């Protein structure tokens, strides 16, 4: 899991980063709103931890711009010392998904991050994903196309699950690689090899290819 932390209090940021690392959560860090905006729109993250009182661009404005200008739908958890109801309502109005008051327990922070990410991924209650004639069971990791079971590798299943979850959006190769390997991405073009094998089992003996390449952007499903 990779999260973006936008927090100008350096010591607090370092403590959060260290604790999340102990929970196998990697962190991109920005010390002000402008840096946070640039990272949020140019990199894929599983969640954004956003302070309100930020230099250059405050958290409320940043949240609103991510949602309205850049169509970033990454879960946003606001971190702030403000505990007034109106501040919370403003955060939600600007597009925040959750709110955590400082000081907070790091265990609760991790729990909230995990809950937001699972909900965003559709992993809270939905175990079967259906898209046209394609079906995935996230519990048993089984795949069917037009009622015919398709045997895919664990890596192929991860790729297919992400493509289904993000449909009809185009998924970048960066996001696919992080979904499969995290930060430990192989030096060789392993993704291309896995995609080749996945396409081979998905499309035979069917006439139409399911996974389309959008040149210069990434991949998408065409169910």
Q: Where are the domains of the chain?
A: 2-121, 128-221
What average pLDDT does range 29-56 have in this prediction? 95
Residue 111 to residue 114: CA distance in whole angstroms? 5
In contact, 15 and 59? CB cutoff 8 Å: no
Residue 186 has pLDDT above 80, yes or no: no
Q: How much is the pLDDT for 2?
A: 93
CATH architecture observed for domain 2-121: 3-Layer(aba) Sandwich (3.40)
pLDDT (tens digit, 9 = 90+) per residue, 106-131? 999 999 999 999 888 776 655 788 88
Q: Decide whether 2-121 matches 128-221 in CATH topology.
A: no
Chain segment 3-36, per-residue pLDDT in tens? 999 999 999 999 999 999 999 999 999 999 999 9
Whether 190 shows a pLDDT value over 80: the answer reads yes
**Which is nearest to 136 in space by CA: 168, 117, 164, 156?**
164
Please return the burial class of 48, using the count of CB atoms within 10 Å of its CB with bins 0-12, 13-18 and 19+: buried
Give the orientation angle of helix 59-68 with respect to helix 85-93, to 10 degrees. 20
Q: What is the pLDDT of residue 177?
A: 86
Which one of 3.40.1710.10, 1.10.3720.10, 1.10.10.10, 3.40.50.300 gives the CATH number of domain 128-221?
1.10.10.10
Cβ-based neighbours of 158, under 8 Å, separated by 6 or more = 179, 180
Total-model pTM: 0.65
Strand intervals (E) in 9-147: 26-30, 47-51, 76-80, 98-101, 128-131, 134-137, 142-145
Whole-angstrom distance, CA of residue 5 vs CA of residue 17: 8
- In the chain, pLDDT over 90 holds for what percent of residues? 60
Average pLDDT over residues 175-191: 79
């Amino acid at each position: 899991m990779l999260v973006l932390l936008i927090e100008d209090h350096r010591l607090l940021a370092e403590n959060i980063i260290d604790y999340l690392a102990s929970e196998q959560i990697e962190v991109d860090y920005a010390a002000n709103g402008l840096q946070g905006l640039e990272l949020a729109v140019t990199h894929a993250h599983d969640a954004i931890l956003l302070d309100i009182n930020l230099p250059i661009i405050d958290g409320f404005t940043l949240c609103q711009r991510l949602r309205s200008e850049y169509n970033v739908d990454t879960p946003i958890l606001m971190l702030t010392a403000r505990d007034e109801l109106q501040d919370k309502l403003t955060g939600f109005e600007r597009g925040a998904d959750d709110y955590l008051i400082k000081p907070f327990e790091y265990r609760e922070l991790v729990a909230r991050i995990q809950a937001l990410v699972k909900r965003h991924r559709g992993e809270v209650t939905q175990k079967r994903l259906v898209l046209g004639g394609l079906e995935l069971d996230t519990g048993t990791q089984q795949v069917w196309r037009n009622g015919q079971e398709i045997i895919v590798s664990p890596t192929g299943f991860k790729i297919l699950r992400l493509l289904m979850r993000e449909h009809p959006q185009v998924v970048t190769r960066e996001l696919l690689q992080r979904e499969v390997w995290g930060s430990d991405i192989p030096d060789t073009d392993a993704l291309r090899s896995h995609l080749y094998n996945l396409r081979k089992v998905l499309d035979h003996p069917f006439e139409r290819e399911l996974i389309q390449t959008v040149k210069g952007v990434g991949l998408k499903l065409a169910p």
